[in-house]
Structure 1
Amino acid sequence: MLALNNVPASLEILENIKADKNLVGAQIFTRHLGKSIADPEFEPILLKAAELHLPLWLHPVFDNRKPDNNLVFSLEYELSQAMLQLVQNDIFKKAPNLKILVHHAGAMVPFFSGRINHILDPEHAEMFKNFYVDTAILGNTPALQLTIDYFGINHVLFGTDAPFAVMPSGADEIVSNAIENLDISDLYDKKIFETNYYHMLERQ
C-alpha cells in the first residue's frame, strides 16, 4: 500500500518492491487528500510503476465531500471516475507499460461502454481497455461475461474481495461458480483463474 501523502516515499517503496522477490505490486486508491489518483501530484508514482513493470491494484475510497456515500453504489462510481480521469489525463500515452488492476470488474465501465464510445473520441475510449480488472462482483455470470467481452479475456483476473460480504473468508465459492457458469472454454477459465495473473506480473 503506497503512501500517497508522500510521493518520494512511494517511489522508494516501489523500488523496494522491485528488489524483493516476494512482493509483486502495490495498492493505490482512487483519491487521497481530496485529490483524484489522476492528479499530476501522483503521476510520478504511476510512471515509476510502469518503468519498473510493477502492477498497481486500484481500490476505491469514499469521496468525503459527498453526504450519501454507501457500499452499494458509491465505490463503483469512484472507481469509474478514477478510470475516466486517468484516461483523460493520457496516462497510457505517457506510460504504455502501466498495469493497473481495477477492483469490481471495472465497475460501471463495461455497462456504459456505449456512452464512453459516443462521448469520448475513439482513441480515449479505447484506452479503457488498457486496464486489468478482477471478478469481485459477488457472482453474476452475465455481468462477468460483459466484463470479458469489453476488456478481453486476457485482462480479467480472479478476485473475490475477501473477506467482504461472506464471512469469515469471503466469496470464493460464489465468484468461482459464476466463472464456471460462463460459456467459455476451459482454456479461458484457466486464464481467469491463473494464467492472466502470471502474465500481468511479468517483469521485463
Structure 2
Amino acid sequence: MKIDAFCHLLPAEYAKRLFAIDDSPVARNIQKRVSGVPALVDMDERFRIMDEFGPDYRQIVNSAAPPLEDLGPAARTVELARIANDGMAELTRDNPDRFAGFCAAVSLSDVDAAIAEAERAFDELGAVGVQIYTHVNGGPMDQERFFPFYEAVAARGDKMIQVHPCRDSSWSDYKTEARSKFEIWWTLGWEYDLSAFMSRLVFSGVFERLPDIKILIHHGGAMIPHFAGRIGPGWDQLGSRTPADQAEDIAGYPLTERPIDAFRRFYVDTAYFGAGDAMRTAIKFFGVDHTLFASDTPFDPEKGPGYIRSTIANLEEMDIIDDADRAEIYHGNVSRLLGL
C-alpha cells in the first residue's frame, strides 16, 4: 500500500467558482497555471494516471493553491472553503479505492470561521486534516490570533495540519527591485517561506503549548534539514549576533529544549521532485517515523505521473532504509497519525 499524503486537485464546483473570479491578480495567475494541468479537474484523466501505480496506490488530496485568503474578501473566501470541502468530501466518498482522505480548505482571514469550517469538515465530511499556508495576507503565522485555530485542530488528536508555501513575483529578490525574476520566488522563495514558517512556530513554543499538534511540512521540511549546522549549533548561540538595541527580536521565546530538537517534531513529506540525495538528508534529519510518502502530483512536467514515479524510485533505491522503513513511510506512519 502506498498512500500519497500531499496531492492537489480542484473539485468541479470550486474550480468553476475559482475561474469566475475576475478581480484578483492571484486568481488570474492560478487560472493560467492550472488550465494546463487536466488532472486537477478531470478525474478520468487523474484515475488513468493513478492506474500506472497499481491498485494499492491511493491519495490524500487537498485543494490546489492559491491560499483562499488571497482570493478576495473574507465572506467570499469562507464560502469558497465550504464549496471546496463539499467537493473533496464527495470525491473521497465516491472513490474510496482512489482517495484515502482529504485535508480541508480554510480561510484564516476569519479565524473563528476557519475553526467552524474545520470542525464541520471533520465531523460532517470526514476530513483527515486541514491545509494552511505559510502566511495570511503576508503576515506571520505565529501571531497569537491563530493559536485558537491550532488548538482546535490539535484537540482532535488524529487530525493533521498540512502546510503549503505561498509567494508570488511581487516578493522581490532584492530590496532595490519591484519583482522577483526568473521565478526565483517559486524555486527558492517557497522553500524559504516553509523554513521561516517552521522557525517562527518553533520559537513561538507551539510544541510546548500544544504537544499533541501534528504539522506536516511540504517539500521535506524545505531548507531545515540541509542547514542542520545552523539550526543546531548556530541557534544554540541565539543572541550572539543581535545588537543590544534589537534585543526584543529574540526575547520571550518559551523553549525548554534545543531549537533543533523542536524542529524534529514536525512531520515532513517526500515531495522532492526526484532529488533523492535531498530526500535522504531529510529522512536522516527528521527520522523515518516523521516522514510521509507524498509526491505533490500533478504539477510535474508530465502533468501527473512524473513526481509519483520518481519519488517511488528514490525510496526504493535509498540505502539508509530497509523494507520495513519503506512500509512505514509509504503507509504506516500516515495510517497511525490519522487513524486510517
Q: Which residue of 1 aligns with 2:295?
A: 160
Q: Deviations over 1:50-99 (max 9, x none)?
A: 11122000000016443325221110000000000000111111100010
Residue 141 in structure 1 maps to residue 276 in structure 2? yes
CA distance in 2, matches of 1:160, 1:113: 24
Structure 2 unaligned spans of 5+: 1-104, 173-178, 237-256
Residue 115 in structure 1 maps to residue 230 in structure 2? yes
CA distance in 2, matches of 1:120, 1:93: 18
Q: Deviations over 1:5-26 (max 9, x none)?
A: 0100111122223314631001
Q: Which letter maps to 2:325? A: Y
Structure 1 unaligned spans of 5+: none
CA distance in 1, matches of 2:279, 2:124: 33
Q: Which letter maps to 1:39? A: Q
CA distance in 1, matches of 2:186, 2:171: 16
Q: Which letter maps to 1:110? A: P
More moved, 18-27 vs 93-102: 18-27
Q: Which residue of 1 aligns with 2:309?
A: 173
DSSP 3-state at the match of 2:331: helix
DSSP 3-state at the match of 1:115: helix
CA distance in 1, matches of 2:148, 2:216: 18
Residue 15 in structure 1 maps to residue 103 in structure 2? no
Tell whether the 8 Å contact from 2:167 to 2:186 is kept in structure 1 after alignment: no
In the superposition, the TM-score normalised over structure 2's length comes to 0.57
DSSP 3-state at the match of 1:31: coil
DSSP 3-state at the match of 2:131: strand
Q: Which residue of 1 aligns with 2:53?
A: none
DSSP 3-state at the match of 1:71: helix
In the superposition, the TM-score normalised over structure 1's length comes to 0.93
Deviation at 1:192, TM superposition (A): 0.9
Q: Which letter maps to 1:104? A: H
DSSP 3-state at the match of 1:130: coil
Residue 191 in structure 1 maps to residue 328 in structure 2? yes
CA distance in 2, matches of 1:202, 1:119: 37
Residue 151 in structure 1 maps to residue 286 in structure 2? yes
1:15–1:193 CA distance, 2 compared to 1 (3 A):
same
Q: Which residue of 1 aligns with 2:262?
A: 127
Based on CA coordinates, which of the two structures has the bigger radius of gyration?
2
Residue 91 in structure 1 maps to residue 206 in structure 2? yes
CA distance in 1, matches of 2:338, 2:189: 29
Deviation at 1:168, TM superposition (A): 2.4
Tell whether the 8 Å contact from 2:232 to 2:258 is kept in structure 1 after alignment: no
Q: Which residue of 2 aligns with 1:38?
A: 142
**Percent sequence identity over aligned pairs:** 32
Q: Which residue of 1 aligns with 2:338?
A: 201
